[in-house]
Structure 1
Amino acid sequence: MTADDHTALCVLGTGLIGGSLLRAVSAAGYTAWGYNRSAPGVAAAQSAGFEVTDDLESVLRRAAETSALIVVAVPMPAVNPMLDAIAQYAPQCPLTDVVSVKSPVAAAVRRYGLEERYVGGHPMAGTAESGWQATDPDLFRGAAWAVGVDPGTDPEAWTRVTRLALDCGSVVVPVIASEHDRAVARISHLPHVLAEALAVAGARGGDLALGLAAGSFRDGTRVAATAPDLVRAICEPNSDALLAVLDETLTALTEAREALSAYTSLDELTAAGHAARQRYESAQRWEITDIEPGAPGWLEKLQEAGRSGGVITRLGPPAPEPVLGR
């Protein structure tokens, strides 16, 4: 190993997120390469000058030889085959992912015996587009990037994943898997479901309704432009948390319907919604400092800081590798 090993990165899946990650880290000076299963995706990445192949074994053997950080950047239904290959060819490498749910990924990682060096990750960035052609090296700039701080997290692997997120221009939100999944059910997965329903309601109004549609319909249905299979891959693995927040939302809509029917009023819902939006717009992040990875209680401190709006914006320089024989 050398002092530069922390810049070796292997990305499995070079669609929107994985491909944007490959672009971002390459611009940041990493030695990065990737895998993609589709020939057109590989060809597009190669034509743009990136080392991407459809030979999964070769990219993982290279990762093992260089102690690279491996990033699983495929939808949840494709995670198991990636983990199976990692367990076979690069089981000692530090491992993270960019999947939109964390508890199911962590459970799969445990099934393959890879939990010792695993740190969950989820950049809160994306578009309605997909594939290499949609990739953007600035996709993560200014975004929140969830990084796992579950019990037993390895501090060295955590530091590498955190540094990766920071080098892509993100701010890091420390969070445990179960709390992450409940949170994203509210602010990511429910909006997908509501966007689909709103799009259907608009289309049922026919050409007149769609011809009159303006900003509120456009913005409210933006993520409904995402490919249906991808929406399902994002939302369905988080079904328990999504069902709970759907029930909560249906209750709120039912109460609004009853008030509209009985009193011709939407006062309660609109007042609550306006206040909630203002809280979102005025929410302040604060910087987490003076927590040393591996120090006593470091995970618990980061868990509590993340819950209360803390983010990490910088780390100290990577420690040099020891020189053998001295």
Structure 2
Amino acid sequence: MTSAPAEEGGGALRTVHVAGAGLIGASVGLALRRAGVTVTLSDADPEVARRAEELGAGKAALPEEPVDVLVAAAPPAAVAGVLLEAVAAGRARTYTDVAGVKEGPLRAVADAHPGLASLVGGHPMAGRERSGPGAARTDLFEGRPWIVTPLPGSGAEHVERVEALALACGAVPVRMEPAEHDRAVALVSHAPHVVAALVAGRLAAAPERAVGVAGTGVRDITRVAESDPAPWLSLLTANAAPVAEVLRALRADLDRALDALDALAAGGATTDDVEALLRAGNAGRQRLPGRHGGPVEHLATVPVVVPDRPGELARLLVAVEEAGVNVEDLEIEHSLGQPAGLAEVLVRPGEADRLAAALTAAGWSVHR
């Protein structure tokens, strides 16, 4: 998607400086340049900024004149320092950040500059398991929430300018108070990461034969546990109290699950309590927004056997295109010790039978 420079209260968003050229900072640069914005970059490590420039995220240099927005793309512990240096140097009209914790860093800057109207927090709800500018993507923020956290003294034009920044990156601005943001991300991001790490940690000392039969379920649950621990340690340190609150509530739920399972194991209870736990999970999952923030989409799965040979997956996707069906999602599961995998092609329910018939006619093995 190509878009024109975003319009906002002070006119078009034309110049942005990104201080921090890792995954998020470089992705911001790529997205803004796609939208026609002039971007400069800096980083505590000049080599990181040079690599981001090489990838097209902007020019590795400090701005010669104040830019429309300066984005502090640093870990929570470093954000306040980056913003304080930038404000002191007068580098921008509006200052924001992209850190995953808001209240502490923003309060430190506001306390140092009482009445600073040009400071507005921000946090795009997007990321990857990989880090560094080499993992940056132009479309990383497409359709994702970008939480904008004004302070009591933030000026309206500066809030609009940060929202224009989010829109230029393809994201959907959502306003929250800083403390509300920190509680929200503890629930939907930080505590789940800890849980994923705990589940994955149980695999570390497990028998090889047990780990060897792992399927997609445990892979889905533990996917984020692959992430570099360093940025997560920074996030958990800065947001420790809200995360601990969520984990304590989860511990109470876990205790109830243990009591129910112990009762079942003893043979003196029904499955009602366990069923209630599972149905609560169904209900919570249904509350998550679907793609682009809309309602959850109920898709149909068309499982297709794909030989483990070069080019077979591409051939399958060509066959789906020839059937005139749009692929909403695609998952691949490799069978243990087998020369084939199972591609689960997710489509709209009304198209599943037609796709299955077309693929079968084209010689594919479809499991319905």
Do both share a fold (TM > 0.5)? yes
Q: CA deviation at 1:282?
A: 6.9
Call closer, same or farther: CA 1:252–1:192 in 2, change over 3 Å.
same
Matches within 5 A, 1:261-280: 261-264=262-265, 265=271, 266-280=274-288
Deviations along 1:187-233, one digit per CA (max 9) or x if unpaired, are 00011100110100122213222211111111111111111111111
Distance 2:87 2:67 in 1: 14
Runs of at least 5 residues in structure 2 that lack an aligned partner in the other structure = 1-9, 266-270, 295-368
TM-score under structure 1 length normalisation? 0.79
The residue number in structure 2 matching 1:157 is 158
Equivalent residue in structure 2 for 1:36, among 36, 43, 46 = 43
The residue number in structure 2 matching 1:191 is 192
The answer to whether 1:180 aligns with 2:187 is no
Q: CA deviation at 1:27?
A: 0.7
Poorly superposed stretches of 4+, deviation over 3 Å: 49-53, 281-286
Distance 2:291 2:92 in 1: 40
SS state of the match for residue 93, structure 2?
coil
SS state of the match for residue 282, structure 2?
helix
Runs of at least 5 residues in structure 1 that lack an aligned partner in the other structure = 287-326
Distance 2:87 2:21 in 1: 20
Distance 2:170 2:290 in 1: 22
Call closer, same or farther: CA 1:52–1:108 in 2, change over 3 Å.
farther
Q: Specify which structure has the bigger relative contact order, considering alpha-carbon pairs within 8 angstroms and separated by 6 or more residues.
A: 1
Distance 1:91 1:30 in 2: 17
Distance 2:43 2:224 in 1: 24
Equivalent residue in structure 1 for 2:19, among 12, 35, 40 = 12
The answer on whether the counterparts of 2:26 and 2:57 sit within 8 Å (CA) in structure 1 is: no
Matches within 5 A, 1:169-318: 169-264=170-265, 265=271, 266-280=274-288
Deviations along 1:150-172, one digit per CA (max 9) or x if unpaired, are 43321110111001101111111
Q: CA deviation at 1:285?
A: 5.7
- Letter of the aligned partner of 1:199 in structure 2? A
The residue number in structure 1 matching 2:100 is 100
Higher helix residue share = 1
The answer on whether the counterparts of 1:23 and 1:136 sit within 8 Å (CA) in structure 2 is: yes
Equivalent residue in structure 2 for 1:23, among 25, 30, 36 = 30
Distance 1:10 1:282 in 2: 32
- Letter of the aligned partner of 1:13 in structure 2? G
SS state of the match for residue 39, structure 2?
strand
The residue number in structure 2 matching 1:318 is none
Q: In the comparison of the two structures, how many residue pairs are matched?
A: 277
The answer on whether the counterparts of 1:72 and 1:82 sit within 8 Å (CA) in structure 2 is: yes
Distance 1:190 1:124 in 2: 15
Call closer, same or farther: CA 1:11–1:203 in 2, change over 3 Å.
same
Deviations along 1:31-87, one digit per CA (max 9) or x if unpaired, are 11111122431231232345443xxxx61x53xx23431101010122233123113
- Letter of the aligned partner of 2:279 in structure 1? A
Q: CA deviation at 1:93?
A: 2.7
Distance 2:112 2:92 in 1: 12
The answer on whether the counterparts of 2:143 and 2:291 sit within 8 Å (CA) in structure 1 is: no
Distance 1:16 1:165 in 2: 16
Q: CA deviation at 1:6?
A: 2.7
Distance 2:187 2:50 in 1: 37
The residue number in structure 2 matching 1:70 is 70
TM-score under structure 2 length normalisation? 0.71
Which of structures 1 and 2 has the bigger CA Rg?
A: 2
The answer on whether the counterparts of 1:203 and 1:209 sit within 8 Å (CA) in structure 2 is: no
SS state of the match for residue 143, structure 2?
coil
Q: CA deviation at 1:4?
A: 6.3
Distance 2:12 2:86 in 1: 18
Of the structure 1 ranges 262-271 and 231-240, higher mean CA displacement relative to structure 2 is found in 262-271
Distance 2:148 2:53 in 1: 30
SS state of the match for residue 37, structure 1?
coil
SS state of the match for residue 117, structure 1?
coil
Higher strand residue share = 2
